[in-house]
Structure 1
């Protein structure tokens, strides 16, 4: 009997056909072989002109080498494609539309603003949402500054901490606003002080050509001045059920307004970081338990709202009182945070779970729910 086949769908980063997560895909292919699952990697650009087969990227664990080969379409598709500003992303949208009848483990989520609005519809999630507004004019900025001492300006489709501004209101009415941030290339913008008029002009220019959110800033600075938050991963298991895989802390680089690892941050065990932050191991354990329940509820609700998911990362802010806030969600999460935090078992579990879920789908011939309208774009 032939092995079930899973195709990891991704996008090339450039014309040199480089892949951002190739080392991760190699590990997943090795784990897949142990489970009896044949795994290969492909992009929409690798589909032949007749749309019947793909020029797959194949890894041979025995030889330790990558190669290319023509393969039929896989039984299931694991979509790892993130938003790009490129013709490659348009190819992806066309692929998803043309082959929507295939068995996708996961479908794209909507943008951050739509997800925020979706969460707001349910009382379960409202206490865990920072005050958030879609930026349309300086009036929106002034309103949010009046209600919140710290704000973040972030793109509705951004990832990796790119394109984010942090603004802190002065303690005195005549004072100047503290501003710092990260550009789209992750370059740190050094702190500076500006007047309200200057700030409004800066934000207008920052938001040109895209849509941005204004979000309440949760106090997250550690005693050394670095910001921190928590990455929680929930995934479908080998029985098709949502399960908490793990949670880890992220501490930002010096002078950074975000905690992203790609921006120079480092990872820490959630229990250790949260105990230091809250001052109590017992309180930390209670908060982690509550966060896990929140994550499982959020994943089930978003899947019900937008279509099939197999995993979801939630970036959480936890204030000094232990209140949990959902900063954003990511349906295409990296899992390196667990490896960097020294949690190798959790990291391996994070790699294997999508594969175990794919096998469960295949064996039970369960078709994931179809996509619900368009998403991401």
Structure 2
């Protein structure tokens, strides 16, 4: 009887977070994340003023809620392009709970992302096992949110963009190179950390956002990242490499 093949994907955001927070190197870059409950939502809003309420299992940014405490007894949340306001916590929470129903959700500290043309952006970092069996960052691409949406995903109306012009709005070429080095290091450290727990993993996609202090935050890790976003770049060399590594890993 053949041994069970280790899984190559991990769908639970909570399971991935539990692994990553154990890594001292990564911990400073992981937003506070908790399981969703009435008391936890209230506590985290009091701590951070803005949080993201996310399905524990989900893709493409679907079902993500941005919840905010704007001032005492003024609560708001946004799902896709719909916004709602409340004057008390109970009705605010009940409305979110009515949307969530019985699905498992997590709450993540909200990061005020930097903007490009008045739209929030983050960076997708593609990390793959190379033909020598070592983790390598193979792709970096910016994702600029739709003006009316809270997520940057391409499938939710986000715009893929080369990271150099994206970052050049804010920083010099020298600083861009330092940021790229940081992204590569964070990506590979994340992959190695997850791979220890889930040895079947062969690729991951990190969504990394920067706040106003240029702290890189690991917003999400996808173990089945869409490689085709890199085909949206004018220069196809990055896309070709991603696909080449993906095909090589599939044969192992």
- TM-score w.r.t. length of structure 2: 0.92
Single out whichever of 279-288 and 111-120 deviates more from structure 2.
279-288
* Contact 1:134/1:213, CA 8 A, preserved across alignment: yes
Q: 1:301 aligns with which of 174, 181, 193?
A: 193
Contact 2:114/2:212 (<8 A) preserved: no
CA distance in 2, matches of 1:317, 1:352: 27
Change (3 A) 1:168 1:225: farther
- Once the two structures are TM-superposed, the CA of residue 214 in structure 1 deviates from its matched residue by 0.8
Per-residue CA distance 1:237-286 (angstroms, 9 max, x = gap): 1212111101100011121000010111111111221232x333322221
TM-fit CA distance, 1:316: 0.8
Structure showing greater radius of gyration is: 1
2-structure distance, mates of 1:289, 1:221: 19
Q: Distance in 2 between matches of 1:111 and 1:222?
A: 29
- Uncovered stretches (5+) of structure 2, i.e. residues with no partner: none
CA distance, structure 1, for counterparts of residue 118 and residue 67 of structure 2:
16
Partner of 1:109: 10
Q: Which residue of 2 aligns with 1:282?
A: 174
1:249 corresponds to which of 125, 142, 150: 142
1:214-293 alignment runs, 5 A limit: 214-220=107-113, 222=115, 224-276=117-169, 278-293=170-185
Q: Does 2:54 correspond to 1:161?
A: no
CA RMSD of aligned residues (A): 2.0
Deviation at 1:223, TM superposition (A): 5.9
SS of equivalent residue, structure 2 residue 115 = coil
Q: Partners of 2:114 and 2:197 in 1: how far apart?
A: 34
Change (3 A) 1:347 1:100: farther
Q: Does 1:210 align with 2:103?
A: yes
Shift of 1:124: 0.9
Matched, 1:198 2:91: yes
Counterpart check, 1:122 vs 2:48: no
SS at structure 1 position matched to 2:161: strand
Q: Displacement of 1:345 after TM fit?
A: 0.8
Deviation of the 1:348 alpha carbon: 1.1
Could you say which structure has the greater relative contact order, defined with CA pairs below 8 angstroms and 6 or more residues apart?
Answer: 2
Give the drift of 1:118: 1.2
SS, match of residue 227 in structure 1: strand
Aligned 8 A contact 1:266 1:340 in 2: no
- 1:244 is paired with a residue of what secondary structure? strand
Q: Normalization by structure 1: what TM-score?
A: 0.63
Residue 207 of structure 1, CA deviation: 2.6
- 1:6-64 deviation per Cα after TM superposition (whole angstroms, max 9, x unaligned): xxxxxxxxxxxxxxxxxxxxxxxxxxxxxxxxxxxxxxxxxxxxxxxxxxxxxxxxxxx
Change (3 A) 1:227 1:100: farther
Q: Residues 66 and 78 of structure 2 are in contact (CA less than 8 Å); yes or no, is this contact kept in structure 1?
A: yes
SS in structure 1 opposite 2:54? strand
* Kept after mapping to 2: 8 A contact 1:221/1:227: yes
1:181 aligns with 2:79: yes
Aligned equivalent of 1:135: 36
CA displacement at 1:224 relative to structure 2 = 4.4
Secondary structure in 1 aligned to 2:31?
A: coil
Contact 1:153 1:213 in 2 (8 A): yes
Determine if the alignment matches structure 1 residue 148 to structure 2 residue 14: no
In the alignment, the residues of structure 1 paired with residue 3 and residue 44 of structure 2 have an alpha-carbon distance, to the nearest angstrom, of: 41
